[in-house]
Structure 1
């Protein structure tokens, strides 16, 4: 799918808040449709596996699906698969070609424990969901939370590796959902003005800046490794999904412009080709103020001001 640059700019000039609300309503319909499919599937498994690349909006989407299922009377629990990371051991941790620890690898996860917990939950047995402490790069069993699913309860496990064969292969009946920002912004000639991968990168730049105090250089230095991990460990498995949908919101190109452009302009000119390309794309896009975006919008996962806490 592609969004029209002209339609975007016309909408931002006329009534940006109404346009943002329209885009959010369309996304809400996707969530509602996904929840219906998941509800219809619960006789086969109590487990939902939700995957997508970095900056795709997995956290917000998982929570919105949970809320929609709750409205249908189905008690739902959302668990981040990050909690199943192994405690970092330099001797056994997977490494990339340069010899550094490969934090993008699915083998950083305790896959055996995950698969065992999925089976136990489907049988109605009690598990203890671990808690990963990123500051100490270790998993804490002391901080674990008990979870047992009733006959009409579901569990959403969200993470970048949720659809990997090492997980799906042991859980073929789980409902599998893939989410990613998949739409480009194009002009009247069909020329791409802003790529969907840039949208995800901008989401990351803004989130890293607002929630971690990082500059754009920090995100851009990490981005090539993130993309390498996506191509190796995420994209090849998206076809495992029972349902795929696009998380790109048309108004985001305008919303992110006044936040991202100053951060990109602080970078040394000519050092990051992708930054130069994004700046050229933003030149053609009308800016939009954050005040036009509702607190419950998916976009709030990246710019802040949401009921959800991503920090």
Structure 2
């Protein structure tokens, strides 16, 4: 896992911030283009692509950007979300002690419907893509109509894209990608690695788009970690490709917003979850305005103002 020194990150941005951003974006884009090329080469045998990854790993942006590159290579591509195949609340058997639905469990996925749709897509039959309403915790079965043709590629992103409970019966139809955030940002006293970096992404996104407090997001990330250990990480080796989504300038973008969100938190809470140490590291980072990030950058999955339709 690569370690990024705070001083080095600041120096890159001090010299030429736009060039530093461009270089970071190119590393991510080049990795996706290489995967897209191989996907296109085997599309006749495997017209479906699963993208799996833990929460905050940027599965959605990766799916959308991958679809764009595949289309540039001459294939029609569709990006779907496995979340839309969740069971209704009263049908799901995976429940936390407090009665909350455990969406980290593959038992929440309507495996029968998803399997039927994958088979139909492979046979070029029409499907109607469902839409899941997280507020009402129920699914609308009326949605976009999709009929695949020869050469078309369907990308399905979701945390369970490698789990055999979901994919085992369709391995002959599907290629698999594991999306991850593999990096550590360090200074003389503090180290922020993959799990905490993903948590910071979620804090950004949840505060902006879901109205969640930092306390709620941090508590939920603890539950997510338990599910990841059981349902995601044991199957990483089943992936055909692994893509690292960390951009070495992204913490500079998040810096001011995160510090503002941390400011009113109770001291005991910050100490308990290590947010005080994270805050001190962020204070040493140079702030980079969002305008430096391209409109289709994955950082905008967490900050907003993206050209991509999520």
Deviations 1:239-280 (A, max 9, x none): 110000100000012221111111112211121423123113
Query: Any conservation in 2 of the 1:51–1:163 contact (CA below 8 Å)?
Result: yes
Displacement of 1:98 in angstroms is 5.6
SS of structure 2 residue aligned to 1:30: helix
**Is 1:277 equivalent to 2:284 in the alignment?**
no
Uncovered stretches (5+) of structure 2, i.e. residues with no partner: none
* Structure 1 residue 99 displacement after superposition: 5.5
CA contact (8 A) 2:190 2:277 kept: no
Deviations 1:8-50 (A, max 9, x none): 1101222222211110111110111110111112121211001
The offset of 1:61, in angstroms, is 0.7
Alignment of 1:247-266 (within 5 A): 247-266=245-264
Please say if 1:213 is aligned against 2:214.
no
Distance 1:186 1:237, change over 3 A: same
Residue equivalent to 1:136? 136
**Residues 141-193 of structure 1: CA deviation (Å, up to 9, x unaligned):** 2x232222101101000011111111221111211001011111245x8x863
Per the TM alignment, residue 4 of structure 1 is displaced from its structure 2 partner at its CA by 2.6
1:166 maps to which residue?
A: 165
Paired with 1:146 and 1:182, the residues of 2 have a C-alpha distance of 37
CA distance change for structure 1 residues 232 and 277 in 2, over 3 Å: closer, same or farther?
Answer: farther
Rounded to whole Å, the distance in 2 between the matches of 1:268 and 1:296 is 36
1:59 is matched with: 60
Q: Contact (CA 8 Å) 2:53, 2:159: kept in 1 or not?
A: yes
> Could you tell me how far apart the structure 1 residues matched to 2:18 and 2:305 are?
16
In terms of mean alpha carbon deviation, does 244-253 or 177-186 score higher?
Answer: 177-186
SS in 2 for 1:169: helix
Q: Secondary structure at the match of 1:147?
A: strand
Cα distance in structure 1, aligned partners of 2:57 and 2:14: 27
Aligned residues: 306
| Residues 77-92 of structure 1 aligned to structure 2 (within 5 Å) | 77-89=78-90, 92=92
Residues 280-307 of structure 1, C-alpha deviations (whole Å, 9 max, x = no match): 3323322222222121211111111111
- Please give the secondary structure, in 2, of the residue aligned with 1:199: helix
* TM-score normalised over the length of structure 1: 0.92
Q: Gaps spanning 5+ residues in structure 1: where?
A: none
1:298 corresponding residue in structure 2: 298
Moved more, 99-108 or 74-83: 99-108
Task: State the match for 1:27 in structure 2.
Answer: 28
| CA distance, structure 1, for counterparts of residue 98 and residue 231 of structure 2 | 17
CA distance in 2, matches of 1:110, 1:168: 12
CA contact (8 A) 2:207 2:213 kept: yes
Contact 1:83 1:130 in 2 (8 A): yes
SS of the residue aligned with 1:54? coil
Alpha-carbon distance between aligned partners in 1 of 2:185 and 2:57, rounded to the nearest angstrom: 16
SS for the counterpart of 1:144 is: coil
Matches within 5 A, 1:1-311: 1-5=1-5, 6-89=7-90, 92-96=92-96, 100-141=100-141, 143-173=142-172, 174-186=174-186, 193-272=191-270, 273-310=273-310
User: Cα RMSD between the aligned structures?
Assistant: 1.8
Retained in 2: the 8 A contact 1:82–1:159?
yes
On the 8 A contact 1:184/1:194 being kept in 2, the answer is: yes
Corresponding residue SS for 1:204: helix
The answer to whether the Cα contact below 8 Å between 1:185 and 1:195 also exists between their aligned partners in 2 is yes
In the alignment, is the contact (CA less than 8 A) between 2:21 and 2:292 conserved in 1? yes
Deviation readout 1:172-224 (Å, 9 max, x if unpaired)? 1211001011111245x8x8632121111111111111222333122112111
